[in-house]
Amino acid sequence: MKKLIALLIIISILCIGCADNKIFDGKEYETYGLFNESGLKDPCVNYELAWGNIVWTVLLFKTAVMPIYFIGFSMWEPVDAKYNCKETEETEGSKDY
């Protein structure tokens, strides 16, 4: 019974993380952490530390699983889009030397 309650608590914590995805200009930007930064961080979006997830990390440090999730996958949350930011996709032929 205790294991079931512990499992339900862990599942509920995963569903109520403090960082939220945001939508700017019709595109959804996800939270990211240390493990998935290279794939999700967008240079045209301002991110802010999700302090709620840091608090959960400290409170649940003995579980070992929850801090890995919060720090690894949900530490930074998108706040707003940068003004006049355009992603430049350079091809090999377009570089001026």
Structural domain spans, the chain: 20-82
Q: E strands, 1-97, where?
A: 22-24, 27-29, 45-49, 76-81
For the chain, the straight-line distance linking the first and the last C-alpha, in angstroms and rounded, comes to 68
85's enclosing H/E stretch is none
Q: Where residue 77 falls among pLDDT bands split at 50, 70, 90?
A: very high
For residue 8, what pLDDT is reported? Answer: 74
For the stretch 4-56, pLDDT in tens is 888 877 776 666 667 788 888 888 999 999 999 999 898 999 999 998 888 88
Decide: 66 and 13 in contact? Cβ < 8 Å: yes
Decide: 46 and 5 in contact? Cβ < 8 Å: no
| Calpha distance 71→53 (Å, rounded) | 8
For the stretch 78-88, pLDDT in tens is 999 888 877 65
For residue 87, what pLDDT is reported? Answer: 64
For residue 97, what pLDDT is reported? Answer: 42
